[in-house]
Structure 1
Amino acid sequence: MSRIRQDEPCPNLNFSRAMYFWDTNAENSICLTYLHNFLPVDMEIVSWSPTLVIYRNLLTPRQASEFLDFIEKRDMVMQKTSDNGKSIETTHRRANGSFIDHGATEVTSEVHNWVQKRIPALNFTNAELFSALSYLPGGHYSVHYDYLSYRSEKEHDWWMKNMRNRIGTLIFVLKTAEKGGGTVFPSIGTTIRINPRDAFFWFNAQADEEKEMLADHGGCPIYEGRKVITTLWVRAKNQPILPMAPTGSPIHASWLIPTFSSAIDPKLRSQSPVE
C-alpha cells in the first residue's frame, strides 16, 4: 500500500537529537535534527535504503519567496524529456520550465551556498543548473529515472564527459497545488507531498555509479492550482560519499547525516554503516 507523506512532518513526534537510538533498519520514517557548524537541519528519513529523505524548512521564508518571484518573472517554456541525452517532445511530461545559473541572482547564489552548508555530505559545486518547473492543471511527469543512459560514449554531452552521471536529485518546493501534484516513488511505495520551503532528496545511482533501479519516480497530475519546484541534479564527480559507501547496493540514508558518516573509522569505510 502506498504511504502518502502529508504536509505535517512526523505526526505526534518531535525531531530527535538522540542519534544513538536510531534504528537504521526501521521501515517507518524517523525525524531527527542534526547540527553542522551550529546550523540545525530537520531531516525526515522516509526510506533508509534506497534513500528518500525530506529536509523540513530547508529554505527560509524570504529565500523561498524571492526565489519564487524570480522564477515567475522568467520566460518559462514547455519542457522536453531526455532520450539518451537528447531532448525530445513527449506526452509523458507536461510542465513549463527554465534553467537558472547558480549565481544568476543574489537569492539563487544564496540558496546554492545555503544548501551546501546544510547538507555537507554532498558536493553541490558540480550540480547542474537549477531547473525551475511550473505545473499547471493537467501538468504531470510520468514515472521515470533521472539517471541518464546512453547507447555509446559518443552521445555523452559536456556534463556526462566532465561531471559524470546524476548521482542524486534534490527538489525544492516553492509552491504547492491545491489538489494533486505529489511525487510518487513506486518502488519505495510512497508519495511525497510537502510544504513550500521543504526539499526532498534521493540517490539515482549506487556507490559504483551504476543505475539505482529503485529510484523510479513521477510527478502526479495537478487537478487544481499550480505547483512550482526547482531541482538540483547532483553529479558524481568529487562526491565524498562515493568512496565511502559500499558498492552493489543502494546508498544508505545514514551517509547523509554528518555526525554519523564522519564518526566512521576510515579503515571501515568500505563497509556498510549499518552492518
Structure 2
Amino acid sequence: MAGGTMVQTITPELRRWIVEQTVAGFSPESVLDAMVKVGWRQELAAAALEDSLREHRRQRGDGRGTGVAPVVVPARFQAVARLPEISLSPSLLCLDAGDRQVRVLATLSLPRVVVLGGLLSDEECEALIAAARPRLARSLTVQTQTGGEELNPDRTSNGMFFTRGESELVRRIEARIARLVNWPLENGEGMQVLNYPVGAEYKPHYDYFDPAEPGTPTILQRGGQRLATLVMYLNEPAEGGGTIFPDVGLEVAPQRGNAVFFSYDKPSPITRTLHGGAPVVQGEKWVATKWLREREFI
C-alpha cells in the first residue's frame, strides 16, 4: 500500500497482506490503524479486515495441525446473531404497533435506519415532557474507562431516565416499541428524556460500548451490548436540532411524534452509525431515547 490518493478496492493482495500482518503477530486493531493512516476510509478498512480474517479462519479451521496460530476476529468486528428489527416490505406504508398505526417515512440499508411517523401522539409527547421536566439534570455520558458516568462537554443537554414500566404512560410506549422492533420489552433500558436549549447539541458519537475500553466489561454486565437506538421527537424546535448521520450525509428533522430507529450488529465504525444531535438554533428540543440491549437490562 502507498500513501496519497488511492482507489479503495478490496483486492486479493490486500486480503493477503491483512492476514500476513495478523499471523505475524500484529493485532487486528493495529492493522486497521495502519490502513487508516495511509488513507483508507475507516469503515472500508474495517470491512476488509473483518472479511479477510473471517475467510482465513474458515480456511484454516481453528489452526490446529497447521503450524499457524488461530486468528481471532476481535469483538468489535463480530456481528450478533439477531438484532432488534422493524419488519418491512416494499409496499408497507404503515406498521401495526398494537394500539396505534405508525407510518414508515424513510428507510436506509447501511446504516440500517427507519424513520417513523406518528409513533407518539401529541398528548403523549406533552405528557412525557411534563413528567420529565421536574427531574431534569445535566446529562451524563458513560465513562468507558471505569463503567461509571461523567460530564461530557460534547453533550450539552439536560436529561432524566424513567424506570422501565414506572407509569401507565411509560408502559404503553414501551410495549408499542417492543412490538415494532420485535424485541423483548425487558431488553430495553429505561427511557431517557432530554431537553436541549438554544446552542445545546450532542456531537457525533456511537451508542455501542467500545470493547477496547477497560470499563466496557462492567457496563455489559447489566444486559450486554447495545444493539439499537430509537430517538423520539417530543416537540419541534423553531430551527436546528436534527439528528445527523455524518458518514452517510443524512439528517432527520425533529418533528413531534416522529422517531428514528437505527441498529448496529457489531460495536464497530463499520456499522456507519456515527450520529449526533445538531445544535438548536431557535427554540428548544425535547427527545426521548430508548436503547435496546442483547439481554435483559437490569
- The match for 1:167 is 227
C-alpha contact 2:243 2:254 (8 A) present in aligned 1: no
User: Secondary structure of 2:93's partner?
Assistant: strand
C-alpha contact 1:47 1:188 (8 A) present in aligned 2: no
| Unmatched tracts of structure 1, length 5 or more | 1-18, 23-30, 239-275
What letter matches 1:100 in structure 2? F
In the alignment, the residues of structure 2 paired with residue 41 and residue 145 of structure 1 have an alpha-carbon distance, to the nearest angstrom, of 26
| Alignment partner of 1:52 out of 100, 109, 113 | 113
Is it true that 1:181 corresponds to 2:270 in the alignment? no
Give me the TM-score of the superposition, normalised by structure 2.
Answer: 0.63
- The match for 1:41 is 102
Residues 154 and 49 of structure 1: is their aligned pair in 2 closer, same or farther, counting only changes over 3 Å?
A: closer
| Alignment partner of 2:201 out of 107, 130, 140 | 140
Paired residues for 1:105-144 under 5 Å: 105-117=167-179, 119-144=180-205
1:111-133 per-residue CA deviation (whole Å, 9 max, x = no partner) reads 1112223x042333211111111
Is it true that 1:211 corresponds to 2:272 in the alignment? no
- The match for 1:222 is 280
- Which protein has the bigger helix share? 2
In the alignment, the residues of structure 2 paired with residue 69 and residue 196 of structure 1 have an alpha-carbon distance, to the nearest angstrom, of 15
Residues 130 and 36 of structure 1: is their aligned pair in 2 closer, same or farther, counting only changes over 3 Å?
A: closer
- The match for 1:15 is none
| Unmatched tracts of structure 2, length 5 or more | 1-87
Residues 75 and 162 of structure 1: is their aligned pair in 2 closer, same or farther, counting only changes over 3 Å?
A: closer
Residues 65 and 165 of structure 1: is their aligned pair in 2 closer, same or farther, counting only changes over 3 Å?
A: same
1:14-71 per-residue CA deviation (whole Å, 9 max, x = no partner) reads xxxxx8756xxxxxxxx72244669533112331222111110011232222112111
Q: C-alpha root-mean-square deviation of aligned residues, in Å?
A: 2.4
- How many residue pairs were aligned? 206
Residues 48 and 97 of structure 1: is their aligned pair in 2 closer, same or farther, counting only changes over 3 Å?
A: same
In the alignment, the residues of structure 2 paired with residue 150 and residue 49 of structure 1 have an alpha-carbon distance, to the nearest angstrom, of 22
Give me the TM-score of the superposition, normalised by structure 1.
Answer: 0.68
Bigger drift between 43-52 and 227-236 goes to 43-52
In the alignment, the residues of structure 2 paired with residue 87 and residue 108 of structure 1 have an alpha-carbon distance, to the nearest angstrom, of 24
What letter matches 2:149 in structure 1? S
1:56-113 per-residue CA deviation (whole Å, 9 max, x = no partner) reads 00112322221121112x2211112223133222221100011111222221112111
In the alignment, the residues of structure 2 paired with residue 110 and residue 38 of structure 1 have an alpha-carbon distance, to the nearest angstrom, of 9
Q: Which has the higher contact order (CA 8 A, sep 6+)?
A: 1
Bigger drift between 32-41 and 119-128 goes to 32-41
Paired residues for 1:187-198 under 5 Å: 187-198=247-258
Structure 1 segments (4+ residues) deviating >3 Å: 19-22, 34-40, 150-155
Residues 164 and 61 of structure 1: is their aligned pair in 2 closer, same or farther, counting only changes over 3 Å?
A: same
| Alignment partner of 2:156 out of 94, 98, 110 | 94
User: Secondary structure of 1:109's partner?
Assistant: helix
In the alignment, the residues of structure 1 paired with residue 99 and residue 238 of structure 2 have an alpha-carbon distance, to the nearest angstrom, of 36
C-alpha contact 2:154 2:203 (8 A) present in aligned 1: yes
| Alignment partner of 2:293 out of 220, 235, 254 | 235
- The match for 1:32 is 93
Residues 154 and 200 of structure 1: is their aligned pair in 2 closer, same or farther, counting only changes over 3 Å?
A: closer
- Which protein has the bigger strand share? 1
In the alignment, the residues of structure 2 paired with residue 223 and residue 147 of structure 1 have an alpha-carbon distance, to the nearest angstrom, of 28
C-alpha contact 1:134 1:226 (8 A) present in aligned 2: yes
